[in-house]
Structures are given as C-alpha cells and as structure tokens.
Amino acid sequence: MIAKGTWAGQYKYDNNAHLELRGIKATNFEIDITKIDNERFIGKVQDDLSTGGTEGVGDVTGSVIGNKVEFVKQMPILTVIAGRNGRRKAFNKKHRKIYYTGTISEDGKTATGRWKFKAGFILVGLMLILGKGNGGTWTMKLTE
C-alpha cells in the first residue's frame, strides 16, 4: 500500500550522452499523493527546476498491487533539449506521458523502479519534432 502525503524523489536517465548534454546527473521531484481508493491513487507532482526538471505542476495517477507500484506522470509544459549545447526550450503544450513502474517497500515508505517515455512526433505550432524515447531509474521516499 502507498501512503497519502508528500514523497521526495529523483530520477536519472540511462542514456549517458543525454546525461552529458543535460549536465545534471539526477532530477529531484516531489509528489503529493492526495487520494487513495483501494489500490488506485492520484496526486500532484512538481520537478525541481534547478536540477533539470520540467516546468509546471503535473498530475500523477497510479496503482499499487502487492508490492508493485506503477503510475503515469503528466506534466503541463513540454520541455525539450534544443541543440547540442543542452539548452532547454519550453512549449505551452503537455509533455508526453511518463510511465513509472517499480517496487514499494514492505513498510510503504520507499519505492524504486524504472521510468520511460515513448518515442513519437510532437506538433509544436507548425513544427513537427521527433521526440526520442528515453528512460532510466527513479527512487522516492515518504517525507510526511
């Protein structure tokens, strides 16, 4: 079971070239789980911008069955790395859904796992951008 409250965590990319381009090893985030209904939960998520996070307050919807946790993170602002200098560009469009899967500890206070988002085309104004798929690892723990 997952607990209501604030969870502090971080995610890392598997792709070393992407890590070097970003210049940041891990991005911190905070999830506030606001509602639990049986094994389903919902909440809000905010990335730490100073550690390379995506702008805005996003939504989290997920479930816990046994010790398996999975959730989808949907951020309200699309952020992409533009060019080879690691410069970030934000668009007033939802980010692609990010899928998290993992394991929650027996006491329900820590969780670890993997995250990914799929490759696909993103329409921004009149531009069509190829968004590469990506993934990595994540961890979080209950703080309140």
Instruction: Delimit the domains of the chain by residue range.
Output: 5-142
Contact 41, 106 (CB under 8 A): no
Label residue 65 exposed, middle or buried (CB < 10 Å: 0-12, 13-18, 19+).
Answer: exposed
Confidence band (pLDDT; 50, 70, 90) for 131? low
How high is the pLDDT of residue 134?
81
**Predicted confidence band of residue 137 (pLDDT cuts 50, 70, 90):** very high
Question: Is the predicted pLDDT of residue 30 greater than 80, yes or no?
Answer: yes
Q: What is the mean pLDDT of residues 103-118?
A: 93
Distance between CA 86 and CA 88 in Å, rounded? Answer: 6
- Confidence band, pLDDT 50/70/90 cuts, at residue 127: low
Residue 106, Cα to own-chain centre: how many angstroms?
23
CB neighbours of residue 47 within 10 Å: 23
pLDDT at 124 over 70: no
Q: For residue range 48-82, what is the model confidence (pLDDT) as tens digits?
A: 999 988 899 999 999 999 999 999 999 998 877 66
CATH of 5-142, one of 1.10.3720.10, 1.10.10.10, 3.40.630.30, 2.40.128.120: 2.40.128.120
Question: How many angstroms separate the CA atoms of 21 and 56, rounded?
Answer: 22
